[in-house]
Structure 1
Amino acid sequence: MIKPSTMLLGALLFSFSNLSLALDKVDQLITGRAYDLNTGELLYTETHEKPSLKEHIVTYREASGEVFATKVIQYSYSPLVPDFYQTNKRNGEVIDVKTEVNDRLIVNYQASESDKVKSKQININNRLIVDAGFDNFVRNYWNNLAKGDDLKVDFLAPTRQIVAPFKIVKASCKEGEDDALCLTMSPDAWWLKLVVDPIYLAYDFNTQNLKRYLGRGNISETNGDYLSVDIHYQYQISTD
């Protein structure tokens, strides 16, 4: 069992290029709108749906409405360590993270259609959290974060297939977000601080739903770059 403290909580498996939302209700629909930090231009939208308690589907659309990427998340191993498979038509990028019966995580990454698939194995332990499991992690340690505990964790970036340390701390909320628990996730190693900026997240205090994400985007451009974006999320109950 993971115990919160100012010491290392463990390996939180997560990619800043693949932040997803954990859905509590099967009939809940979430729409995220990602805007350019400098111009305010709408870059893309992402729709989150949950057909069943163990499946979570994310659909990415250009500002024009055209679908260009999808991600399928499956909670076959645990709520904190899901498998996921993401494809991006912009450049042919494929990310495939899956659990094995021998408590290992297989991380496959293909940068583009012309690149070879790179594969790496990661041992799974009780400190490991994958992708959309991050939201469950925040909710599990909500009280600790709300009272200001600093939680040190490790993240795996599937695109680089490396594990790196980060720190999650309570932060001052931005204007208009006084009803939120606001957090920052910052690199906790000097070498990582050189290439990764802190990420800002705002969670609704009442629902514990992610309202805003400010940082590296969760889908790559045609050239393979990941832009910094400002994503705002809206929640509704599906009528289908």
Structure 2
Amino acid sequence: MTRPQLATLTAAMLMVPAAYANDSRFEFVGKASEDGTPVYEEHHKVAGECRDNLWHPVTHSVEYRKPGERESFATKSLEYRSSVLRPEMDFKQLDFDESITVRQDGDGSLAIHWQAPSGGTENFSASIEDSVVIDAGFDNLVRRHWADVTSDQSVDFRFLAPTRGEHYAFVMEPVSTDQTEARHTVTIRPSGIVLRFLVDPITLGYDSSGTLTDYIGLSNLRKSEDNNYTVHIRYDVSKRPTCELTP
């Protein structure tokens, strides 16, 4: 398993509709640095709904840009039609001619198409389980289990690796670290012993409202054809939903 393939196990972290009932927007920018050097920015726009004063994402778009540039070198769109944990996904990294799509088939499985930088293509079918999380669904997993996060409890789940066509057992658990100034921090790491030696943990920081403030670990973006960035992303929110992010 290569590092780019392993990178798709991480989050890291989209078509905005015209309007929804109880419309609420969430907009933020993440600035990623590697070894202290700025390497790219993530520009996020999320459209959602407020239901019983709790925010539910519907669609999420992100543009990846080099620092100081307006043109994007990668894009991603997520649609939370079936589940806030398992969005359908379209990802493109234009500078490597790579694309990944994840769709939910009518037969209860995930249809995955990967166009690799090498020019080859792969098609996979993966099972859907209630514990499976896809891409930025990890952020909603944290909020769904906010009571566990804030009371030092661990959460088991499975994370999809699209370029492998499989999902793997992971655990999310609170952790203490001096890498961020976040109010709450958690790690996401593989549960299996073998994969634990191959995949470094991801560290996530959140403020008291459940807003993501930090991401530390392997990025989903390629630095070269064989390697992905390893980054610390710091997020700054420009527009918050009008309702609560956590129960």
Tell me the distance in 1 between the aligned counterparts of 2:221 and 2:24: 24
Tell me the distance in 1 between the aligned counterparts of 2:180 and 2:224: 34
Tell me the distance in 2 between the aligned counterparts of 1:122 and 1:175: 35
> In structure 2, do the counterparts of structure 1 residues 170 and 25 end up closer, same or farther at CA, with 3 Å as the change threshold?
farther
Alignment-derived partner of residue 46 in structure 1? 42
* Cα displacement (A) at 1:194: 2.2
Alignment of 1:121 onto 2:121: no
In structure 1, stretches of 5+ residues that fail to align are 1-13
Alignment-derived partner of residue 226 in structure 1? 228
Query: Which residue identity does 1:160 align to in structure 2?
Result: R
Alignment of 1:199 onto 2:202: yes
Alignment of 1:106 onto 2:99: no
Size of the aligned set, in residue pairs, is 219
* Cα displacement (A) at 1:147: 1.1
Identity between Structure 1 and Structure 2 (%): 29
Is the Cα contact below 8 Å between 2:39 and 2:66 reproduced in 1? Answer: yes
> In structure 2, do the counterparts of structure 1 residues 137 and 231 end up closer, same or farther at CA, with 3 Å as the change threshold?
same
Is the Cα contact below 8 Å between 1:173 and 1:180 reproduced in 2? Answer: no
Tell me the distance in 2 between the aligned counterparts of 1:176 and 1:42: 17
Tell me the distance in 1 between the aligned counterparts of 2:224 and 2:8: 19
Tell me the distance in 2 between the aligned counterparts of 1:147 and 1:121: 37
> In structure 2, do the counterparts of structure 1 residues 110 and 17 end up closer, same or farther at CA, with 3 Å as the change threshold?
farther
Q: Deviations over 1:19-63 (max 9, x none)?
A: 229x99743211000001x2x110000000125652210100012
In structure 2, stretches of 5+ residues that fail to align are 1-6, 17-21, 49-56, 241-247
Q: Which 4+ stretches in 1 moved above 6 angstroms? A: none
> In structure 2, do the counterparts of structure 1 residues 57 and 190 end up closer, same or farther at CA, with 3 Å as the change threshold?
same
Give runs of aligned pairs for residues 1-240 of structure 1, distance below 5 A.
15-20=8-13, 26-36=24-34, 38=35, 40-51=36-47, 54-65=58-69, 66-112=71-117, 114-174=118-178, 177=181, 180-205=183-208, 207-237=209-239
Q: What is the TM-score with the length of structure 1 in the denominator?
A: 0.83
Alignment-derived partner of residue 9 in structure 1? none
